[in-house]
Amino acid sequence: MILEVPCRLWIALAIILLYGVFRSGSNIAKLKTIPGPWLYATTRFRLAVDAWQARSVQAILSLHRQYGPVVRIGPNEVSFNSLSALKAIYGAGSVFERTDFYRMFDVYGRPNLFTFGSGKLHRDRKKLISHIYANQTVLGPDFGPLVQNKVTGFLSLLEQEPEHASEIFGSLHYFSLDAISEFVYGPDYGGTKALSGCKQSRELIQDILNPARRRLAWYTVHFPAYTKWITTRSGLLERCITSLGLMPMRKPYTYSGIRQHALRAFHSFRNAPALDRVNAADNTVIGRLLKVQEMANMTDMDIASECADHLLAGIDTTADSLMFMIWALSLPQHQEYQERLRRELSRISVDASGFPIPKELTQLPYLNAVVRECLRLYSPLPTFEPRSSTVDTVIDGYEIPAGTIAGASPFCLHRDEGVFPSPLSFRPERWLTSSGTLVPESDLRNRYFWAFSSGARMCIGVHLANAEMFTLIAALYRRYKTSARHPDTSPGITSRFEVFSDETMPKMVEHECWIDFVKLTESN
């Protein structure tokens, strides 16, 4: 459901908008040559209205289609939709850094790999743990079985709780939560057991489901001081604010339960026997960080924040991507894609338990094409990624003054009609050559593919996410046929203050997706 705008909020936004008109004159002069509608160029609150209605990225795409690959979306904000801009803003050696926008993702009041503004701080932290996320590590003897074990758990859930598992938004969150929690903390000091029925573990995702999280994110971005004040009130004042409808989100706030779990897991591991900590130093994120804590000059809360951020980052992204993959393959008009995928999977080698081997799945062209097309069309983090520079730059022929917020979004890049004809159509074959092999990495389609970002800030968990997605999809479609229970309804996901779904569907239900699973037999 898109956020409704009450009358009193429209009045408040109108006042703020007029304030922005008179406040932003100098910015207008600096960026006046960049195309875009005057209202967006005059006040940042014009885009804020789009964001309140959960459609700011969709609005930016419309502006790009009207004005071209460079468009002004605020007095001091420019959106780009070109390869040259990607390189300039996000590529190696870029002078652009992350903005304060990302500080909303700090955990326990401490910055982490995701929220660092400084490139140097980011590089120094990333070096400490990058080898754990390397492809050869993720697919190696420690983590390969972890992924297979969680896939086994999901298939068991289909057998033991078929109706519960059929609502795949929830059941896939169990899968991703169990996988990333064990990857970060190990099985004994923070690994969850949602797939096997642990009520406490399953309850951790409840605050993810609340659509009010979008409202809280909106207030945090546009009114940070107010949000910090109002969300820290307690007692009678909190009850009064809540009764007046002024609280952005009722407690518990988004991710509060998961963050509490993460802090308990940190202390549990910190107090574990020395031998356990040593054994986990090379196969858990927390073990590695505690091993290098003194050398890296990290406090306990620095490590707790880093681990909690990795836990949070690995839940929604993987679960939402898998949900859209299964849903897209389950639509009646896409059954041919499901059958073609199943034919490819029927020819692969499996282990002694009959499960696909994660390392070998990366070589399957059609499986790769299906995953890539789903990530193109339903990217789990499709929103605008802001950056700024302390020096003047020139991008795509336009002067970008120091301090200007510049960025791009996967949502816009992946819908460029010149690169992806019929961009709203689900077509895995667009990633294949006429001979059935994957298009080369140098192909323009791959260069525009931005589901995991790029450059130094590229998602550190890309290989783990791929291993989870490839293995689950391969194991699932070797054993089951799937069909969408409501083929005219798209599932919707929350990303910051946006809602994303399949725009071609007449209906959308947020955070819910029902799939029917039919086990394959020799006859079918």
pLDDT tens, residue by residue, 367-376: 999 999 999 9
| 237 has a pLDDT exceeding 90 | no
Number of domains forming the structure of the chain: 3
Lowest-pLDDT range of 58-72, 249-263, 367-381, 442-456:
249-263
- In 75-164, DSSP assigns E strands to 77-80, 96-98
Same-domain status, 37 and 95: yes
Same-domain status, 298 and 219: no
Same-domain status, 149 and 267: yes
pLDDT tens-digit series, residues 346-398: 998 888 777 888 888 988 999 999 999 999 999 989 999 999 999 999 999 99
* Structural domain contains residue 112: no
| 475 has a pLDDT exceeding 60 | yes
| Amino acid 61: pLDDT | 97
* Structural domain contains residue 141: yes
Contact predicate 385/363, CB 8 Å: no
| Amino acid 28: pLDDT | 57
| Amino acid 493: pLDDT | 93
| 295 has a pLDDT exceeding 80 | yes
| 238 has a pLDDT exceeding 80 | no
Same-domain status, 181 and 81: no
Residue 456's region, left for phi above 0, alpha for psi from -120 to 50, else beta, is: alpha
Same-domain status, 360 and 272: yes
* Structural domain contains residue 70: yes
Same-domain status, 230 and 320: no
- Of 87, 10, 66, which Cα lies nearest the Cα of 456? 87
| Amino acid 524: pLDDT | 58
| 3 has a pLDDT exceeding 60 | no
Same-domain status, 282 and 308: yes
User: Domain span at residue 12?
Assistant: 7-99+386-413
Same-domain status, 217 and 205: no
**pLDDT interval class at 25 (50, 70, 90):** very low
| 522 has a pLDDT exceeding 70 | no
Q: Residues of the chain with pLDDT > 90: what percent?
A: 76
Same-domain status, 161 and 273: yes
* Structural domain contains residue 479: yes
Please enumerate, by residue number, every residue annotated as part of a binding site for heme. Answer: 459
> Token pair for residue 185?
């903390």
CATH code, 366: 1.10.630.10
Q: Alpha-carbon dihedral of residues 44, 50, 51, 54, nearest 10 degrees?
A: 180
Same-domain status, 464 and 499: yes
Please enumerate, by residue number, every residue annotated as part of a binding site. Answer: 459
- Strands 480-484 and 515-519, sheet pairing: antiparallel
Same-domain status, 343 and 441: yes
Higher-confidence residue: 398 or 15?
398
**Edge to edge, what strands does the sheet with 489-495 contain?**
498-500, 489-495, 507-510
| Mean pLDDT value across the chain | 91
